[in-house]
Amino acid sequence: MTWEVLSIIGTIAFAVSGAIIAMEEEYDILGVYILGIVTAFGGGAIRNLLIGVPISALWEQGMLFQIALLSITAVFLFPNNLLKHWRKWGNFFDAIGLSAFAIQGALYASEMNHPISAIIVAAVLTGSGGGIVRDLLAGRKPLVLRSEIYAVWAIMCGAAIGLGLVHSAFELYALFIISTTLRVLSFLYKWRLPNRSLRAHV
């Protein structure tokens, strides 16, 4: 049940995220649906390829596809005066999707008895893979590659599950809330990882 709830939360959050970015880039209605679907399912597809799950497993998620399509439709029909607040709320949806899918990906790899390294990779790819594909298709620099702290929270989720620190549904939901909160705080307060620029300073 925890897995299913996290899948639904992540699917809605990332489908909405992809759809709104597509509208920001002035894509037509087909582009909005494509970007929304790719964002919602891209991370899971990449994860499946790397941990040995048949890619066809994605097509068995009929209910999640329906949820994603309904979410995208709702966003497309939303009034413009509400959508203009996307920059305020967009990162919140992105944080929800990141946390939900990172935990779901880690649980997926853990149930297949993969080592902790594979669990962490599954968490990162499931949590951020859809966002990477979304940003690349929208012609933007992927969030996960910026100095802004993003994938670190997916790594945290993967490590917590891989090390067996969380087991019960309550603990998994607590991890989801903590990860989402940290991601939102890292955006609001502009937390950054160390970086080094090779550009010449004038």
Angle in degrees, CA 29, 59, 171, rounded to 5: 100
Q: Is residue 62 part of a domain?
A: yes
Lowest-confidence range among 28-32, 118-122, 149-153, 154-158?
149-153
Question: What pLDDT is recorded for position 37?
Answer: 94
> Residue range 98-105: average pLDDT?
90
Query: Which pLDDT value is given to residue 194?
Result: 82
Is residue 194, in this structure, part of any structural domain at all?
no
- Residue 114's CB is within 10 A of a number of other CB atoms, namely 18
Contact 112, 106 (CB under 8 A): no
Residue 199 located in a structural domain: no
Domain assignment present for residue 155? The answer is yes
* Overall number of domains in the chain: 1
* pLDDT greater than 60 at residue 202: no
DSSP 200: P
What pLDDT is stored for residue 156 in this prediction? 95
195 inside domain: no
**Residue-number span of the structural domain to which 100 is assigned:** 2-188
Task: Please tell me the total number of residues recorded for the chain in this structure.
Answer: 202
Residue 201 maps to a domain: no
Residue 105 pLDDT exceeds 80: yes
Q: 169 φ, ψ to 5°?
A: -60, -40
Q: Is 94 among the domain residues?
A: yes
Q: How confident is the model at residue 131 (pLDDT cuts 50, 70, 90)?
A: confident
